[in-house]
Amino acid sequence: MQRKKKRKYVQLTDNDEINRLLNTVVSSVKDFTESQFEQIRRLTQIGAALSAESNIERLLEMILEEAKRFTNADGGTLYIMSDDEKRLHFAIVETDSLNVRMGGLSGEITWPPVELYNENGDPNYANVSSYSALSGNVVNIADVYNIDEYNFEGTRQYDAETGYRSQSMLVIPMRNHENDIIGILQLINARDRENGGTIPFSLFSQELTESLASQAAIALTKNRLIMDLQNLFESFIKTIATAIDEKSPYTGDHGRRVVELTMMIAEEINEMNHGPFESVFFNKDQMNELRIAAWLHDVGKVAIPEYVMDKSTKLTTVHDRIDLLRTRIEVLKRDIENDVLRKELARRGGYNEESLINRCRHKINNLEDDYEFLASVNGGVECMTDDQVMRLTKIGRKSWMVNGKKQSLLTEDEMRNLVIRRGTLTDEERAIVNNHAAITSRMLSQMPFPKKLKNIPCYAGSHHECLNGRGYPLGLKAEDIPIQSRILALADVFEALTASDRPYRRGNTLSQAVSILECMVRDDHLDADLFDLFINRKIHLDYAKKELSQHQIDERDGR
């Protein structure tokens, strides 16, 4: 306990008795004034501290703890108003003499809330906290056992179970800047600072606590508003990513999976205390920035035409033009059969019937083989060989009759698409798809991200850059590509390799995906250190167990 400073005796009159009385009065007034000044100074400090606190759970604890300190209360409860303004939820419960700490950083309170309205819809004025919330009035009670206006059966029951004696109570509504009641501050058992006995809450303590409650309500509202805005921003980001994924039926969950992989890699890096990532650590804000960049990495695909994004075969535009080729083949087969019939009718001229039929079957079988070949090539699953290109060219020279006019079996555009060596996209279409990274960067660069999220356009827009400088859209060199973009690149490639919902191929097995990644690392497409971490820490296997089909996990470690 801090000792009181000894006051200097001042000679004010010639009468010693009057002097002692006057010195006592002056000393008492000075002590009271200093005490009040200290309380007011402390209230100012608390206001600043409450405004600076960003953790809402810690903020709730601070509000109750400071209110108890002001009033020297033994305990208290902080209630938060529900969104529908029909009940009060327990946020913090503390009683020092019972060593009770509930809510806040200690964990959620599971007690049922205080209902503000009875079952018949009437206001619940029997509960003192409910009354204060509904009326907006402060309630100051000297002894809860000696009042009939409110129902304290629950309080008496609690006392009976714990051996506690609830006595004085102060209940104050918390109003925000819009004068809305957002919570209730309830304090119990003010204690005498000299002897520790329970006393009523003084009017001065009440006024100070009302001021504290007002500041606390504003700080809490600001904190919740920031949290609501963050949640809205997060939801908006996820909605955009989902809309982009839903644009194509083949990439419906790509965004979420890339986010999951990205964060798995980043979290593992934070655990490393040796090796190439020993000095790398992402703090909470940096992790959040990376996570949002992962959600937005494909936002530029919103500008990519669906027929390019969803081009499952080489001949796909609005529809798969292989069906047109099927029709042309059938027309050719019909023409061959008609030709045989005409020649059979002219047998008298010396034609051999059996020879005509065999030649007919041979031509039809050749056409069927041609169609099967075209259908196979159209899938774009395997790389085209030179022999296959030559065969396509030969088939393309064939002709069919349309309204008496001879036309090529394959149009120029169909030939250009069918001879694509790898995949289903032409060079022009590939450029359109690749442009999504540049569009992503341009779109995100126009958004006014706050300081803690300022790098999102860079991270999201450069996830297709390669260490060898052959990536896109800027062709950055290794030293210009941040580690966050390298993480995104690895996550994006691995997800694409193992995804089973792509139109142009089946999802690779784990070992196939790892082999392809190894090739990309050797070619300086991907970061070798990140790849080693990815494999050695079995991130790929942990992801596979959650996201891949069982048949894709072909080896225990995927190598």
Tell me the C-alpha distance between 112 and 87, whole Å.
10
CATH of domain 248-309+428-552: 1.10.3210.10
pLDDT, one tens digit per residue, over 394-446 is 988 888 887 778 888 888 888 888 888 888 888 888 888 888 888 999 999 99
- CA distances from residue 464 to 156, 321, 345, 449, 540 in whole angstroms, order as listed: 67, 31, 66, 22, 20
- Asked if pLDDT for residue 547 goes beyond 70, the answer is yes
Mean pLDDT of 239-261: 80
The domains of the chain are located at 1-52, 54-225, 248-309+428-552, 322-424
Average pLDDT over residues 200-209: 90
pLDDT reported for residue 2:
45
Tokens representing 17 are 């008795």
- What's the whole-number mean pLDDT along residues 445-453? 91
Confidence of residue 339 (pLDDT cuts 50, 70, 90): confident
Please compute the mean of the pLDDT values over residues 536-553 and round it to a whole number: 92
Distance CA 183, CA 133 (A): 7
Q: Is the pLDDT of residue 134 over 50?
A: yes
pLDDT at 402: 79
Q: pLDDT over 90 for what percent of the chain?
A: 43
Among residues 118, 76, 122, which one has the least CA distance to residue 101? 76
Please name the fold of domain 54-225: Beta-Lactamase (3.30.450)
pLDDT tens profile 68-119: 988 999 999 999 999 899 999 999 999 999 999 999 887 888 899 999 999 9
What b/e readout covers 267-282, taking b as 16+ CB neighbours within 10 angstroms? Answer: ebbeeeeeeebeeeeb
> In this model, does residue 557 exceed pLDDT 70?
no
pLDDT band for 49, please (50, 70, 90 cuts): low
Which whole number is the average pLDDT over 467-495? 95
Q: What pLDDT was estimated at residue 1?
A: 41
The answer to whether residue 248 scores a pLDDT higher than 80 is no
Cα–Cα distance between 425 and 422 in angstroms, integer?
8
**Residue 79 bridge partners (DSSP):** 90, 184
